[in-house]
A and B are shown apart, each in its own frame.
Chain A
Amino acid sequence: MNQMLRQKTPDARVAEIIKLAVMAVGGQGGGVLTGWIESLARSQGYVAQSTSVAGVAQRTGATIYYVEMIPHSDNQPVFALAPSAGDVDVVIAAEMMEVGRAVMRGFVTPDRTTLIGSTHRQLAVSEKSVPGDGIADAEEVKAAAEIAAQRLILADMDQLAVLQGSVISASLFGALAGSGALPFSREAFEDAIRAGGKGVDPSLKAFAVGFDVAQNGVAAPEPILETDESPVTGSNEQATEWQVLLDRTEALPAPVVAMARAGLGKVVDFQDCTYGATYLDELNAVIGRDSAAQEWELSTTAAKYIANAMAYDDIIKVADLKTRAPRFARIRDEMSVKDGQLVQLTEFFHPRAEEVAGMLPAKLGARAEANPRTMERLERLFGKGRRLRTDTLPAFLMLHILGGLKGYRLRTRRHAVEMAHLQSWLDRSLAPLAEDYALSVELLKCRRLVKGYSDTHARGLTKFDTVMNAADMLKGRKDAAEWIARLREAALQDPEGKALTGAIETVRSFV
């Protein structure tokens, strides 16, 4: 019955349709890029059709533009309105996770697809709102793209364009030209930009860079190091003291040295060299209980977190950091301030009674904290939002003076509290050391949970306590360390600690 309808040789011209998808984040100028590609195709004697979904092409949502083209003929070809999995010749993804999305949706296939992607990241809300590190793994995406694409061109197209004073659509268009995936000359591409008529010169520059990257590849990405401050400044006398401390680190077990030096720098910067010596003493106490058997993991971990605990965030530290010379230079640089332009700086402070009480001498501060009425009075007196113009003298002077109170710092209530917390944390972490080395390491790492200011800080402390306390439940179990690590990760997943509560419930269920 189907005799008259046998499979015939497919129309070879169908294969000539070039199918190109642009995966972008709304706001990236995907429409401009699509417009260039379309007008380029038409100028070269092709029939082209583009489609987009404007409803989500806005307001930072993920979106797709789609173009099909074929050499002009007397008849009108029939084009599809959206890309199909396994049927796309060129995919341009304007962000690293959009590269991933293109692969995930099957638009990138090894038999035919040229994938041009930008490696830069525009973090999704879900990635940046977790209290810990929620940034998606770009390496995983890269690995998948390498398998999926027939030809892969990856570079930070955004950075390339921005350096030329342009935007990513231009560098991507250049990479498309350089990839040779479209049968058009470089000049034809450039003419399409000129025909667009807007920001032609910067666009052409970014185009050239993109073209070059596609043709010659990128040099191994060199992290751009911005040295915030010169390593050490201070008088000769201090330099000598500093050298003495550095010499002491030489004696540490080799795997610990790097972290210990970083930690030492942090605490010395926070206070002074004497404080740095205290840090090394604390660290040495841990090293004394450690051994090479586990490659000094305990000591390295301690080197990191003792430094963080000792360099706590108090008013003095913030005031100091805010009034340093390199900061002013850095801001001018970050804001691309040119000669003849001025910068006005406004800082946003909102001290609470807790911070003020913490600045009082230890005993007085403790008494104040114990008395709700005193705290209330402090809150009334100090607890309000302050906007300080640190480019003007009164505000600068105030912070400068506060930042200079290092001589007094070690006598404050805050210091006493922090030191007590440090000791208790070290003691509790090292308590199971003899039986369970790994558990001690994991407990030390829990210090990571203490961060933020005011409420966030308080919540962090609560989570820290919860996880530390869980160690008592888990003690003696083979997987105690694993569970502490798991609990810590859970604590970093959401601000309220929902994941942590769930994980604790699980622990309760089996202990």
Chain B
Amino acid sequence: MAERSFKAEVEHLRKGEGDVFTGEGILAITKALLENGVGYVGGYQGAPISHLMDVLADAEELMSELGVRFEANASEAAAAAMLAASVHYPIRGAVTFKGPVGVNVASDALANLSSSGVTGGALVIVGEDYGEGSSIMQERSHAFAMKSQFWMLDPRPNLPSITKAVKDGFELSEASNTPVMLMVRIRSCHVTGSFATKDNVRPPLTVKEAVANPRSDFNRVVLPPMSYLHEQDKVKNRWPAAEKFIVENKLNEFFGPEKAPLGIIVQGGMYNGLIRALQRLGLADVFGNTEIPIYVLNVTYPIVRDEFDGFCAGKDHVMVIEEGQPDHIEQQLGSYLYKLGRKTKLYGKDVLPMAGEYTGQVMLDGVTGFLKAAAPDMLPGQVRAPNDAPPAIPDLSNTVPIRPPGFCTGCPERPIFAGMKLVEQELGKHQITGDIGCHLFASLPPFEIGGATMGYGLGPASNAAFDGGGERRAISILGDGGFWHNGLSSSIGNMVFNKSDSVAVIVDNYYSAATGGQDVLSSRAHNDTKSTNNPISAALKGVGVEWIRQIDHTYDVAKVRDTVREALTTDYNGPKVIVMSSECMLNKQRREKPLRNKAIKEGRRVDVPRFGVDSDVCTGDHACIRLSGCPSLSLKRLEDPLRDDPVAHIDQTCVGCGNCGEVADAAVLCPSFYRADVVHNPSSFEKWRAGLRTKTISWLQNRRDARRIRVGDVHVTAPQGARAAPQPPMGALT
């Protein structure tokens, strides 16, 4: 069950000729795939294209009506490999994953695919996770296109352009027998807008029909001597064919006056940012009509030399806007200019920063810098000679705290890391590597567990140098998503084969949780179209792990602590693997809350737990928070002149996961925590018994109060600094 359901939106995918679709970019891409007769789709989830996978999964019914095969691939490599179907068969296929990390994983298959060449259109939709809000290292997918020679589309970020790029991509792929990568940037994935729809098209040849009539041709196999021929074919035939198609079909666009002494070349994805900068400088109108010629590279690789040269003709200054580094495009253009003997001056990373997202301000500064050098008269007077200084706004950089993402309220991974932290307090710091997934948040405060992440499923593998063991065994962490992605072989198999004397912790939250809660092989839910309920521990046994511990309730902090301690201290010197399983709380709440509310409404007995802190018992040392970090466990200030520090406080968003009580117990923290179970619709016996208890307790309390003096005067300021986050919503991280 994915975090976000697109069932309602998927109905829009049925729209036909003459209709208008309004919605998110991701959904528009799916619609465009169907309109262009795609025969099979697949991919691997990850921001920013997780929702695309969710949409595809939710649209499975519609796709099967059209004869389109949908595969939730095991990894990006598996997804790219699926495009092999388009090598021999004239079937259009599309897969999606994130870039550049997904492209890294897929690069083997992509390189082979590019060498073989394709008959049917093959489209790789890459969600480029670059810039603010990205969760990965900052690199570009562009280099992969250059090294394997497949073509790269980077359309202008509006729905008509993005959906047209899907059509162009398929056609370009077929015209040049080359796979095409359609890059959508993080914000264009979620940009909203409208486009005119067409009827969905059933693939002329479905995969079912194709598999009934198999084809093969050894000339397409990447083996010598054919692979040498593939290389020649790439540069002699496929490349020129691509250039011809790009030019003839006007995939790149020109805006602004035809004749001008200067111009700007921009990646399609950066077009809106450029226009905004020009709008602010008074050089473009609201519709993007510009005073400066713009050459929009909707195809960023290859760059057609003649088309570029045509744009430069008569221009003394051209600027290229290329986000990210290295400056592949700028280098290419510079080389073209030089070889053409042009005197045109090229601007780019000299007026724009080499690295980092080209935000609105960066773009404005860059374009201004270019114009100051190339055409200062065009700049508004304000820019040329600014007069009034803006008012000084106090610097808040030391006041406003950073707010990185963290574990959700009630997350079952929190107690795992609380337990590990307790072991750390006992046995000292250990060498720990993390993996990709929610559990990587443990490397941030308050846990600060783990010091490296090398890639999906590579947590244990990245500890291999320490596999020989030592005074303190190395620990690695792996999620269930990473385990099935490739961790089983790359990490666990590696540990077994090399007789590793280290510890691997597999965090099993029943989903690929960080990417939005998609099912994986070991998910516990029933899934109509996928095989779930394949236990991780069975797979571990299968590859030869002998020391396996399974914890089915991660909230048992003491058990987690003891098991980790056992793994670190046992005499057994082979690989030790602990599988810690509890359901992702986000998904659990989403599933159970409506059921619970329904049960309460129907008058059934329901017990709703929530934690609380007795503020008069709490001393304000915040040790509990350092072992938890739960959003619902926060602080509040007491209006008590005797108290200096704020005390712990649990707000109404608490889901009663039990972590607080377990930690207070296991870490011997303090007795201020309590759990209150509110019993809805109690039985009459329960009510009677509770009445009796209350009566007796009240009698005891009154009796004591009559004999002693009680001076209670605790004032609580509400709600300063009190409230925590509500249940986090949908989204995708990796």
Contacts and interface: CB of A to CB of B under 8 A. Distances in A.
B634 interface: yes
A509 interface: no
Q: Which of B405, B687, B701, B730 counts the most A-chain CB atoms under 10 A from its CB?
A: B405
Interface string B707-734: 1111111111111111111111111110
Given A51-B191, A56-B133, A232-B709, 14 more contacts: A27-B729, A51-B192, A53-B48, A54-B732, A58-B405, A78-B279, A81-B191, A125-B406, A136-B399, A140-B394, A304-B641, A325-B702, A344-B676, A385-B665
Interface in A10-33: 10-11, 13-14, 16-17, 25-29, 31
Contacts of A82: 132, 187, 273, 359-360
Nearest to A121: B721
B725 A131 contact: no
Interface string B302-334: 000000000000001000000000000000000
A58 to B, nearest CB: 3
A55 B680 contact: no
B52 to A, nearest CB: 11
Contacts of A272: 708-709
B378 interface: yes
A143 B288 CA distance: 39
A415 interface: no
8 contacts: A27-B729, A53-B48, A59-B405, A75-B287, A82-B273, A120-B723, A232-B709, A259-B641
A479 B316 CA distance: 67
A491 B680 CA distance: 46
Interface in B366-412: 375-381, 390-397, 399-408
B546 interface: no
Interface string B620-653: 1111011001010011010111101110000010
B82 interface: no
B364 interface: yes
A51 B190 contact: yes
Ranked 3 nearest A-B pairs via Cβ? A84-B360, A229-B712, A10-B282
B378 A5 contact: yes
Contacts of B176: none
B724 A348 contact: no
Interface in B139-161: 157-158, 160
Contact of B668 (A1, A100, A455): A455
A326 B733 CA distance: 45
Given A55-B186, A56-B133, A453-B670, A8 B291 contact: yes
Interface in A86-111: 86-87, 97, 100-101, 103-104, 106, 109-110
A139 B177 CA distance: 63
Nearest to B709: A234
A79 B697 CA distance: 67
A2 interface: yes
B378 A6 contact: yes
Interface string A488-505: 000010010000000000
B676 A84 contact: no
B387 to A, nearest CB: 14
A151 B396 CA distance: 19
B272 A81 contact: yes
Nearest to A31: B729
The listed residue with most A CB atoms (<10 A of its CB), out of B129, B379, B623, is B623
A123 B403 CA distance: 9
B693 interface: yes
Given A60-B631, A135-B646, A341-B680, A50 B192 contact: yes
B528 interface: no
Contacts of A130: 622
B286 A77 contact: yes
B619 interface: yes
Given A29-B729, A224-B718, A343-B679, A81 B709 contact: no
A101 B725 CA distance: 17
A84 B619 contact: no
Given A231-B712, A321-B616, A323-B701, A133 B644 contact: yes
Given A50-B192, A234-B705, A452-B619, A81 B187 contact: yes
A454 interface: yes
A132 B526 CA distance: 48
A391 B282 contact: no
Nearest to A57: B731
A381 interface: no
Given A29-B729, A348-B673, A266 B642 contact: yes
B617 A228 contact: no
Contact of B186 (A53, A106, A392): A53
B403 A62 contact: yes
Contact of A58 (B361, B390, B693, B729): B729
Contact of A7 (B282, B619, B669): B282
A296 interface: no
B244 interface: no
B16 interface: no
A392 B693 contact: yes
Nearest to A445: B644
A342 B711 contact: no
B629 A325 contact: no
Interface stretch (A208-216, A329-337, A426-434): A329-337
A141 B718 CA distance: 20
A225 to B, nearest CB: 5
Nearest to B360: A84
A2 B377 contact: yes
Contact of B316 (A1, A313, A352): A1
Interface stretch (A235-243, A280-288, A368-376): A235-243
Interface stretch (B28-36, B438-446, B489-497): B438-446
Contacts of A2: 261, 375-378
A182 interface: no
A316 B32 CA distance: 71
B706 interface: yes
Contacts of A51: 187, 190-192
A55 B134 contact: yes
| Most B Cβ at <10 Å: residue of A343, A348, A495 | A348
B710 A234 contact: yes
B610 interface: yes
B731 A58 contact: yes
Contacts of B192: 38, 48-51
Interface string A267-302: 011001100000000000000000000000000000
Nearest to B653: A27
B254 interface: no
B642 A262 contact: yes
B572 interface: no
A452 B676 contact: no
B661 to A, nearest CB: 4
Contact of A456 (B292, B623, B706, B724): B623
B120 interface: no
Contact of A13 (B286, B558, B682): B286
A128 B613 CA distance: 15
A129 B622 contact: yes
Contacts of B540: none
Interface in A438-494: 448, 451-456, 460, 492
B622 A233 contact: no
A25 B720 contact: no
A375 to B, nearest CB: 15
B720 A238 contact: no
A31 B400 CA distance: 23
A49 B399 contact: no
Contacts of B279: 10-11, 14, 78
Contacts of A506: none
Interface in B119-134: 129, 132-134
Contacts of A263: 642
B614 interface: yes
Contact of B641 (A6, A80, A258): A258
B275 interface: yes
A194 interface: no
